[in-house]
Structure formats: C-alpha cells, structure tokens
Amino acid sequence: MSEEPRMPATDPRPLTGEPVSLDLLNTRWMYDGVRQDLLAGTEGLRIWLVANGLDRRFPADAASLEHVLLAREALAAAVDRLGVDSPGGAAGVERVDAVLGHGRIRATLTAAGPGEETEFEDPSWGAAWTAAHDYLNLLRAAPDRIRGCAHEACILHFFDTSRNGTRRWCSMASCGNRAKASRHYARTRES
C-alpha cells in the first residue's frame, strides 16, 4: 500500500483566487525548476475544494480526485489550444465536453422565481463538472482574457481583469519582477 504524499493544511500555491477552471489548472506550478502538484492526493483535493468554496458540496475522495484530474487535463488541452484554431481545438473540446456529460443544469421554479439546479449522475463528478462549466462561462465572457503567464518558466494561468486587458504575468510581484530583473541583468552585461 503506497502512502499518499503529505500536503500542508494550507494552500501552498503561488497563485490562487482565479476562476475555478483556471484555479484547477493552477494546482500545478513550478518551484525552483521542479513541477509541483497540489492534487497528488485527496488531501490536496480537499485544500483545492476549500479554496474554491466547493468543500461543502463535493467530497474529497479518490473517485472525485480521479474525475478532477481528468477535468484538469481536459481544461489544459482546451486552454493550450485557445486562440490557435478555436476555443480549445478539437481534442480540448471533446475532452471538456466529456466531463460536462457527467452533469447537467435543470431549470426550476421556486417561490423566489426561476432558478437552476445542477445534477450529477454521480456526485464524485461534481467538482470536475463545476470547473469545466466555469470554463464555458469564461469563454462566453471574454475568451481573449484567458491567459497563461508570459514568463517562460511559469505554467500558471489567469483571467485578465485589468482595465485595458494587457496583463502578462500571473503575478507582477513574482514573474513580472523576474522578467524585469532578467532584462536589466542582460542590459548591464552588454554594457
């Protein structure tokens, strides 16, 4: 029996707070040139669910982890192709659509008026489906604002909410400053 890697009780990721679909992509990041993965086990899944307010709705168990990992790969395929051929290219579209096939939105009428309720064939698909559905909302809102960090050593993604839509870095404090320092160093070496 293999032991699950121990994750800290707090979220160790350098970028959090992005829309849930991009936040799922950001469960992988680089640290000192080594790829890190929050979703190496169910404890990391629990941390991600808590960070996105999904922990009361969806379980942090092995089945949910498997489905969330499938959704992450599907979203990665879709986002990596964004802007090349279509909103995700054929492979990304098919993979995200496959995840979306495990849930649906049911229209409802409540005392307060029209509403919607999400339903899943299996509750362990809930978090994965929610992330895939969020990606659709981002595509509807502004597909050109779904971005990967411009730093060559960074694999994080963000939704550009800047006024003029020119954000390039996941974080100006980390990747933006590293790029500036690198350019400055290159200029001083040329002098």
Q: 186: pLDDT confidence band, cut at 50, 70 and 90?
A: low
Backbone angles phi, psi at 165, to 5 degrees: 70, 35
pLDDT score, position 140: 96
Over residues 100-158, the pLDDT tens digits come to 999 999 999 999 999 999 999 899 999 999 999 999 999 999 999 999 999 999 999 99
pTM here?
0.85
pLDDT score, position 187: 58
In a domain, residue 164? The reply is: yes
In a domain, residue 12? The reply is: no
Of the candidate ranges 67-81, 82-96, 108-122, the one whose mean pLDDT is the lowest: 82-96
How many folded domains does the chain comprise?
1
In a domain, residue 155? The reply is: yes
Q: 84: pLDDT confidence band, cut at 50, 70 and 90?
A: very low
DSSP string computed for 119-164:
EESSGGGHHHHHHHHHHHHHHHH-GGGEEE-SSTT---EEE--STT
Q: What is the mean pLDDT of residues 71-88?
A: 76
Of the candidate ranges 33-37, 86-90, 110-114, the one whose mean pLDDT is the lowest: 86-90
In a domain, residue 13? The reply is: no
CATH code, domain carrying 26: 1.10.3300.10
Torsion, Cα 163 165 168 174, to 10 degrees, reads 20
Question: Higher pLDDT residue, 6 or 95?
Answer: 95
pLDDT score, position 95: 95
Q: What is the mean pLDDT of the chain?
A: 88
In a domain, residue 5? The reply is: no
**What does the alpha-carbon distance between residue 81 and residue 59 come to, in Å, rounded to a whole number?**
31
Q: What is the mean pLDDT of residues 17-43?
A: 97
